[in-house]
Amino acid sequence: MRFERRSEYAAAMFALGLWGGLQAELRAAEATHAKVSPVVIAVRYLDFRDPKTGKAISDAESVNTMVNEVSEVWAQCQVGFRLEAYDAIDPRQYGTGFSPVSFAELDHLREATENKRYLTMIGTGAWNRSGNLGHSGSNCYSSFPRDAADGIVCEAKVAKNPILHAHEAGHWLNLKHTNDPASDGVADTTAQNSEHDLMNHFVAPGNRLLTPGQCQRAREAITEWRQNTSIR
């Protein structure tokens, strides 16, 4: 390559320098987000049926759409979720009411429905806030690994909310809130990225970020505690 002017040569060298820098950044990004084999978690959804009307909170098609959206959020970690079982149930068969009134009732429900082959998600009626659930603004709860009551339970108004279920799946995979006073134990979650992080305490539609450290922690949880739920 022959340059007629010194300025042309300088411009070309500058462009090559930029390209070299970009290549270095790409290599660093690839190393940070190292390729790992995808894993898929089997989901079972239990849908409360109102004993008075016989009508379920949701339906299999809507739940399947929601689970697919949860999977899209978690794809950045090479983790997927697939609806493998759906059942509309009478909550009385598990010793609970259509509208749970206490944390103890939620725990009993999850213990009674636990199946180690699945991540069990449960959609209930609107929570009765006259009990100790009334002291909480939350409408969805999840277990952490090794909790006695396993699974995710959400009340009707968020029973098909994909971002909230993706957030609760994070807890199920051993991720803590990024903006609680106590540390979440992940080095690369910061005040700067917490605003967009999926594990921000206050879940909003734009909270979809999962850092490489969070992905690693979640995948370690699958290996250590959730291996039976993996279907790939």
Contact 115, 44 (CB under 8 A): yes
Q: Which segments of the chain does DSSP mark as H helices, in order? A: 6-32, 60-74, 103-113, 162-172, 191-194, 212-224
Rounded to an integer, what distance in angstroms lies between the CA atom of residue 33 and that of residue 9? Answer: 36
pLDDT score at 34: 54
Q: Give me the amino acid identity at 18.
A: L
pTM as predicted: 0.84
Contact 169, 160 (CB under 8 A): no
Q: Bridge-partner residues for 43, per DSSP?
A: 83, 119
pLDDT score at 231: 92
Give every residue of the chain whose pLDDT is below 50, as ranges: 1-33
| H or E element in which residue 48 lies | strand 39-48
pLDDT score at 192: 78
Contact 107, 136 (CB under 8 A): no
Residues in the chain, overall count: 232
Model confidence over 68-112: pLDDT tens digits? 999 999 999 999 999 999 999 999 999 999 999 999 999 999 999
- Domains recognised in the chain with CATH numbers: 39-229 (3.40.390.10)
For 106-158, the DSSP string reads HHHHHHHH--TTSEEEEE-S---TTSGGGG----EEEPPTT-SS-SEEE-GGG
Residue 69's CB: how many other CB atoms inside 10 A? 17
What is the dihedral sign for C-alpha 109, 115, 118, 119? positive
* Pairing relationship of beta strands 152-154 and 140-142 according to DSSP bridges: antiparallel
Rounded to an integer, what distance in angstroms lies between the CA atom of residue 160 and that of residue 136? Answer: 20
pLDDT score at 37: 85
What is the dihedral sign for C-alpha 214, 215, 218, 224? negative
